[in-house]
Structure 1
Amino acid sequence: MDRVIRRGLAASALPMVLAALSGGPAFAQSAAPENETASQSGLADIVVTAQRREEKLIDTPISVTAFTSADLEAHEAVNFVDVAQYTPNFTALTTTGSNHNVGAGIRGISSQEPALAQDPRVGFYLDGVYLAKNSGAVFSIADLERIEVLRGPQGTLYGKNTTGGAINLVTAKPSGEFGFEQKFTFGNYDRFTSRTIIDLPETGGFSLKLSYLKSDRDGFFKNDNPGTQVREMDDENTDAVRVALRFQPIDWFTADYAMDWTRSKSVAKPPQISTVIPGYADVPVVTSFTPFTLAPDNPFRQLIAAGVVSPDKRLKHFSLDGVQPELVHVYGHALNLKADLGNAELRSISAWRAYRSKAEPGLNDAFDFDGGAWVEPIFHNGTVASNGIHKKQDQFSQEFQVLGTAFDERLQYTAGLYYFRETGQELSNQWNALIFLPANTIPGLNFDALYRQELILGGPPGGLGENYSIRNTSKAAYGQLTYTPPWLDGRLSFTGGLRYTKDKRKASVLDADPIWTTSKSFDNLSPSFTMAFAPNSDLNLYAKISTGYNAGSIPVRASTQAAFNTPVGDEKLTAYEIGIKSEWLDRRLRLNAAAFYYDYDDLQVSDFQEGSTILTNAGKARITGFEVEFAAVPVDGFTVTANYGYTDFKYREFIVGGVDVADIAKPPYAPKHTASGALEYVFPAFSIGELSARLDASYRSKLTFDPFQFVNTAADARTLLDARVALSNIELGRTRLEIAGWVKNLTDEEYRDFGVDFGSIGIAVNTWGDPRTFGLDLTLAF
């Protein structure tokens, strides 16, 4: 622990010195977050920008869950994955092979494929800038003000169209006044985090805010192999910097420039074998590469006979000699211009972003056993264990918007033009499987010498797409009008939206000889209509019909050139939703609810086939469900929150090889039930400070990861508990101090987090969720 303390203090010394030299007045009290309005005894107002303009959550006719800065602190959250378990009908988790790739689903519409050739169904936005890929979407942000999770199709208000929903990451802007905050976190697994935020006074119209986050943690899994220097897996070593510069020379014009940069070096979670499929010990196995039959003395036969494969145990120790860390850089620049012309506001959002990932190939040539209780797979491809993958993606986007009002503010309008361009490349090593069984490692099995069997699946056939490049563009025009007629004292409003999108996809398979190249264009017109009725300021009822569209894709991992030249078609969604936003009992109780019905056509599904993820149009689906979100302050200082989400996803048609398999396919990332709740009590203030205690619980029902390969890898239902106790507003001269202790996964529940079924060789693997972690936060501000 001393080691990490010294390292962290050194890392934060310069920002602290800068803050001390800046001078300026001290803060007597903590500034209220920009997105909250304080309330003496009831619930605070939550202000969101889900409709591109600031408005109260209760006035927003969209199913949205918002996490304020206080919520993010309570959950130790620095990205959207950290809050997914507390959001109804939202699933987000890191996938196998990288700590920075995400699989995300909202109301059953998911995107989990990290290949650069595919667009996500859930859109990620950072201060209005679209983040184009699942790869590299998980990165740290030191100065988050708010996270908004929007459920349902988005497009008539956002630069990029998405069918599932949108995640808005909103950062805190420069205030123009001096402020300083330093937070240290110490925890088990040698965790050390330092977060420094400096807000400098306005000078000549310029305001500057700097933030720096450094986070180190040992891995949850240990590598005991003496042949490698990599001892920690699922570790964390991250540096994140953000610079926010505001220029406001006159009252009606604001220019916000932001630069964010994240560097990470880590080893992904190691997958472990959860199942050896019994049938593969008795019948020949034919892969899409090389056919082979399991010999009588094949290790898989011995594993089955010995009964050493356990699907219900999270392993702590592995023995891998080819583990390599992944180096990830995510960085970007954004310029946001606003001109307030009275009844209209003009906006421009220009952004460039880049993602780089590099992991050298390694050779994991060992099955290893721990007391005969588990077996660990040996693959050296990036999806399973040690990998050799280089990825890069660059994107540029330009968006123009005009927002305004007319007819005595009875008409509100938003219109926009959007342009997006990206290039990307992925270079991967070939698939090979090596199986190694040391002598006498399993009690009862007699191996007189080292047993080694190498199953060479061989190089992938041309066109599998382990090496490919992309070049995509998207252009769109969108708009939305809200009219409030004079009837019923302005309680009724009608909103209509329309979006036209034109997308072009181009891809090249670099491991084909000669190189294959193809392109395809898609276009779509997506309307929406909403009717809202607010009988009073504490109640808002709405009904909504919206449409969503996701462009088609080039199947870079197709096994033939003919398949590669047949792009996957675009998918379309028509969504019907009714909802209620309400506050009761003098704002001591808040109840929001929404019910939905989705008609989903030509949905794009990622199916894991013979070591590659193949994208296909599955056919049709019907999705129904609802969300309920509740918050109450029964007595001063005591807050109760709870939410529940239900999703019923049914394939109506799923054609594979000319056969409809809708009855057996399972939707990925679509748990039927999600729920969470929290109890928080803030004790009456006393001379030292303010004491608060919080307990969070979250539940997720059974989760599958692939439409077909789900029998052996699905994650069972799990319940997690988190707790936090904080003593805040401790005054030390001109400095305020907060001390908080926290525990995540309080009961140390073991649960599967992700899974892949390698049917071609008869095994299924899973990664597992984080064990119990605990720590202490020290926060100083003045």
Structure 2
Amino acid sequence: MRNFLPRSAIALAVSLASATQFTPALAQGPALALEEVLVTARRRSENLQDVPIAVTALSGQALRMRGAADISELAQLIPSVTLEPSRATSTTLTAFIRGVGQQDPLAGFEQGVALYLDDVYVARPQGALLDIYDVERVEVLRGPQGTLYGRNAVGGAIKYVTRRLSDEVDVRLKGSIGSYNQRDLVATASTPLGDGFRLGGTVARLTRDGYGDNLTTGEEHYDKDLFAYRVSAEWLPSEDWLIRLAYDNSDDKSNPVAGYRPFPGAVSGVPVLDDVHDTTAGASERPSTAGINGNNQVEAEGLMLSVDWDPTDAITLRSITAYREDYTESVIDFDGLAVMDFDAPVIYDNEQFSQELQLLYNADRWNAVVGFYYLDATAANDFDVVLGQIGPVTAYTGGTVDTEAWSVFADVTYQLTGQLSLSLGGRYTEDKRDADIFRANYLGLGSPFLGNDSALLLAVTSDYEASKTYTDFSPRVNLSYALGEDATVYLGYSRGWKAGSFDPRGANFVTPEVERGFDAETLDSYEAGLKMAWLEGRAVTNIAVFYSDYQDMQIPGSVGVDSDGDGVNDGFVGTVTNAGKAEISGVELEGSVLLTERLSAQLALSFLDAEIKEWLFNGVDVSDQRAVQNTPEEMAYIGLTYTMGLAAGDISFSANWSYKGDVTQFEAPVPVIDQDSHDVFNASVVWLSSDDSWLLGIHGKNLADEEIKTAGYCFGSGGCPSQLGLEDNTTVFYAPPRTVTATVEYRF
């Protein structure tokens, strides 16, 4: 922080569920003021300024005006949030909020930030980096969640909410062209079919050439090839009932993503490339990935049924039933070279069923939510680690982790006086994990499990089945006080918890304790906040100050193993550390100001102090050598929007700047893959017709063409914890370069 110039303030103050979107406007009457923002963050309609929690939301209209492509862009303007594609993928999500998250996508590791698609918890990160289309809003809640809905979340929650169907015929077409031959088309239509019944659907085809080239295969690198659709129906048999049925499907056939090599090949001598988006990776065309035919594809689908019934004006009964599954075949080229030094064909196969029941009560001075949640999920992965220049040898890992979890939760708010309110909540959770793990080393390019029947078994390194049940009670308490009509102050405590599990990469023959699994992690969060409107309603600011005591952090990793003592690592083993303790504290500011009737500013700011306090390794505290992952100490955002009338509509000129401090990708700093502090500049020009039927927009992103590291693999030199392969295998993944996109939308 000491090197950071205070450059910032406020993110978009926009709505949550059933929210009025933020748009600078004249309030009723002569005074110039911001519109009131209504949210349902606590399962009831409230003014955002009265809600005593740290929450940000972006309406579909705000995202539309920004030209946002996927949810990772939200991290530019929301305090204390990191959203990125995971290593070697385009659509697997790595999410961190206030220093809490999980970046390992393997079975056995649950995410620290909960992702919801229309109130349905998405248990696995594959396919979770959602593209933004057919969206009503995206909500981000910071801090532990679990007493109001769904799955318990230790770090926070992201809620992607699709648009409700209209009671009139509604057809929308959106086309985009842009840099790197971007070609996107989204078509949406809905219609009423008789009284109280509506049917709708959306189809999206999103394509783009690569930001770089694969110099070995001739394919595009960092390209996009996605087809997705969604169909839904709503039935309102009476004013007391709402029944929604929805199905979504996505198919991502983008090419494999390989990291940039900062060092030349130690054996092959391949030089460092000039463009960080280029690669010489050849695994997709080599025998090392023949078991999946070199395929790189992510398929995901889900079915959801929700039922709301209002038996009285004060009571709502809600049921949310859902099934989701996804299947991934992925080529991971750790070495990023044409040679088969360190390659991995990977299969992820996940499915889940969830059922949630809620009772909501809202009357007089009482507001309450009581709920039950059930999850039955299976996460499976099969992968080979092929060391083609050593032997060749292959380390196969196959693991299935089943989760059966149930919980009961409640959150009650009582208005003690006209200004003072007290909220008490709690959640009891029982998570059962069942693991079936097998690992073995083979001589040959690939294992029998992924197509190489001629492979010779060298040694079984892990073979076990295990089961463990974890239980927890997590409380929440919040006290809020209205200082007047324009200000609310609050003080709260909440506990976050995530069950333990089993590491599918662990070798129980060498380390039998892996059969016992790793422990649960807990986080105690204390937060104080002030929400206020000022300048006679022309500005709002929301300030949150928090302190988190993080115990038994689950930190997974992999290290090379020298099985024959010849000084060369010829295998690997997974490691999971329940790091002793971390303390994370911070200050967050967000809000908006209407400078004139036409000019508005949006600002955001966060300062975080995240520190590992205890990390025991072989009985020695190495906390001074460890860092909290994916958590910049400082973040800032400022945006300006000027709107004026033009040709039977309004034209808006927007520009924004975001800043992120230094980021450590893993628990140990590695300068070659860690990202230094950086700036991102974006700008848009959007014309919207007065009847909202036409939109013409041009959006420029990362206009300074900043090279931004988002992830990496570290199995070579430059400070890596261990080495694997012979080619000095350190690779780095990068965010998109400068792009410009033109968009046309028509609604009729």
**Contact between 2:500 and 2:521, CA under 8 Å: does it hold in 1?**
yes
Query: 1:590 aligned to 540, 550, 562, which one?
Result: 540
Where does residue 531 of structure 2 map in the other structure?
A: 581
Where does residue 339 of structure 1 map in the other structure?
A: 309
Where does residue 703 of structure 1 map in the other structure?
A: 663
C-alpha change, 1:518 and 1:709, in structure 2 (3 Å) is farther
Residues 438-475 of structure 1: CA deviation (Å, up to 9, x unaligned): xxxxxxxxxxxxxxxx2347333xxxx72111211110
Query: 2:365 aligned to 410, 414, 428, which one?
Result: 410
The one-letter amino acid of 2:633's match is K
Residues 635-657 of structure 1: CA deviation (Å, up to 9, x unaligned): 01111011011111111110122
Asked if 1:356 corresponds to 2:291, the answer is: no
C-alpha change, 1:595 and 1:234, in structure 2 (3 Å) is same
Asked if 1:497 corresponds to 2:425, the answer is: yes
The one-letter amino acid of 2:412's match is L
Asked if 1:36 corresponds to 2:18, the answer is: no
Where does residue 21 of structure 1 map in the other structure?
A: none
Where does residue 213 of structure 1 map in the other structure?
A: 204
Equivalent-residue separation in structure 1 for 2:208 and 2:637 (angstroms): 27
C-alpha change, 1:33 and 1:470, in structure 2 (3 Å) is closer
What pairs with 1:126-275 in structure 2 (closer than 5 Å)? 126-225=117-216, 228=217, 231-275=219-263
Q: TM-score, normalised by structure 2?
A: 0.86
Residues 597-640 of structure 1: CA deviation (Å, up to 9, x unaligned): 01111111123423565322011111111110131011011110
Where does residue 14 of structure 2 map in the other structure?
A: none
Where does residue 286 of structure 1 map in the other structure?
A: none
**Contact between 1:179 and 1:781, CA under 8 Å: does it hold in 2?**
yes
1:65 positional shift: 1.1
1:322 positional shift: 3.2
Equivalent-residue separation in structure 2 for 1:346 and 1:537 (angstroms): 32
**Contact between 1:142 and 1:241, CA under 8 Å: does it hold in 2?**
no
1:58 positional shift: 1.2
Contiguous gaps of at least 5 residues in structure 1: 1-31, 277-298, 369-376, 382-387, 435-453
C-alpha change, 1:554 and 1:33, in structure 2 (3 Å) is closer
Where does residue 76 of structure 1 map in the other structure?
A: 67
C-alpha change, 1:778 and 1:365, in structure 2 (3 Å) is closer
Where does residue 401 of structure 2 map in the other structure?
A: 470
Equivalent-residue separation in structure 1 for 2:149 and 2:336 (angstroms): 48
Query: 1:529 aligned to 465, 469, 477, which one?
Result: 477
**Contact between 2:280 and 2:336, CA under 8 Å: does it hold in 1?**
no
Report the identity percentage.
29
Query: 1:760 aligned to 712, 715, 723, which one?
Result: 723
**Contact between 1:258 and 1:334, CA under 8 Å: does it hold in 2?**
yes
What pairs with 1:317-716 in structure 2 (closer than 5 Å)? 318=280, 320=282, 322=284, 324-340=294-310, 341-359=312-330, 366=337, 379-381=342-344, 388-406=345-363, 409-432=364-387, 434=388, 454-456=389-391, 458-460=393-395, 466-485=397-416, 487=417, 490-511=418-439, 515-561=463-509, 562-610=512-560, 614-683=575-644, 685-708=645-668, 710-716=670-676
**Contact between 2:283 and 2:343, CA under 8 Å: does it hold in 1?**
no
Asked if 1:719 corresponds to 2:685, the answer is: no
Pairs aligned (count): 675
C-alpha change, 1:113 and 1:363, in structure 2 (3 Å) is closer
C-alpha change, 1:430 and 1:607, in structure 2 (3 Å) is closer
**Contact between 2:18 and 2:39, CA under 8 Å: does it hold in 1?**
no
Equivalent-residue separation in structure 1 for 2:275 and 2:633 (angstroms): 24
The one-letter amino acid of 1:391's match is Y
**Contact between 2:18 and 2:40, CA under 8 Å: does it hold in 1?**
no
1:210 positional shift: 1.4
C-alpha change, 1:271 and 1:342, in structure 2 (3 Å) is same
The one-letter amino acid of 2:552's match is D
1:106 positional shift: 0.5
1:658 positional shift: 1.7
C-alpha change, 1:378 and 1:203, in structure 2 (3 Å) is farther
1:316 positional shift: 3.4
Equivalent-residue separation in structure 1 for 2:740 and 2:336 (angstroms): 35
1:33 positional shift: 8.7
C-alpha change, 1:615 and 1:137, in structure 2 (3 Å) is farther
**Contact between 2:215 and 2:278, CA under 8 Å: does it hold in 1?**
no
Asked if 1:770 corresponds to 2:728, the answer is: no
User: Any idea what SS the aligned residue of 1:724 has?
Assistant: strand
**Contact between 1:355 and 1:394, CA under 8 Å: does it hold in 2?**
yes
Equivalent-residue separation in structure 2 for 1:687 and 1:665 (angstroms): 58
Equivalent-residue separation in structure 2 for 1:240 and 1:550 (angstroms): 32
1:729 positional shift: 0.2
1:551 positional shift: 0.3
1:194 positional shift: 0.8
Equivalent-residue separation in structure 2 for 1:105 and 1:178 (angstroms): 40
**Contact between 1:64 and 1:151, CA under 8 Å: does it hold in 2?**
yes
1:96 positional shift: 1.4
**Contact between 2:463 and 2:508, CA under 8 Å: does it hold in 1?**
no
The one-letter amino acid of 1:529's match is V
Where does residue 291 of structure 2 map in the other structure?
A: none
Residues 153-182 of structure 1: CA deviation (Å, up to 9, x unaligned): 001112211110000111111121112211
User: Any idea what SS the aligned residue of 2:131 has?
Assistant: coil
User: Any idea what SS the aligned residue of 1:272 has?
Assistant: coil
Equivalent-residue separation in structure 1 for 2:543 and 2:172 (angstroms): 37
**Contact between 2:358 and 2:372, CA under 8 Å: does it hold in 1?**
yes
User: Any idea what SS the aligned residue of 1:42 has?
Assistant: strand
Equivalent-residue separation in structure 2 for 1:482 and 1:251 (angstroms): 27
User: Any idea what SS the aligned residue of 1:531 has?
Assistant: strand
C-alpha change, 1:362 and 1:92, in structure 2 (3 Å) is closer
Decide which moves more: 599-608 or 574-583: 599-608
**Contact between 1:80 and 1:167, CA under 8 Å: does it hold in 2?**
no
**Contact between 1:140 and 1:262, CA under 8 Å: does it hold in 2?**
no
Where does residue 696 of structure 2 map in the other structure?
A: 739
1:688 positional shift: 4.0
Where does residue 106 of structure 1 map in the other structure?
A: 97
Decide which moves more: 46-55 or 722-731: 46-55
Q: TM-score, normalised by structure 1?
A: 0.82
Asked if 1:316 corresponds to 2:278, the answer is: yes
The one-letter amino acid of 1:206's match is F
**Contact between 2:664 and 2:674, CA under 8 Å: does it hold in 1?**
yes
C-alpha change, 1:608 and 1:595, in structure 2 (3 Å) is farther
Residues 405-433 of structure 1: CA deviation (Å, up to 9, x unaligned): 34xx101111001100001211112231x
1:367 positional shift: 5.9
1:302 positional shift: 9.4
Equivalent-residue separation in structure 2 for 1:362 and 1:623 (angstroms): 35
Where does residue 451 of structure 1 map in the other structure?
A: none
**Contact between 2:258 and 2:279, CA under 8 Å: does it hold in 1?**
no
Where does residue 437 of structure 1 map in the other structure?
A: none
C-alpha change, 1:163 and 1:457, in structure 2 (3 Å) is farther
C-alpha change, 1:520 and 1:180, in structure 2 (3 Å) is same
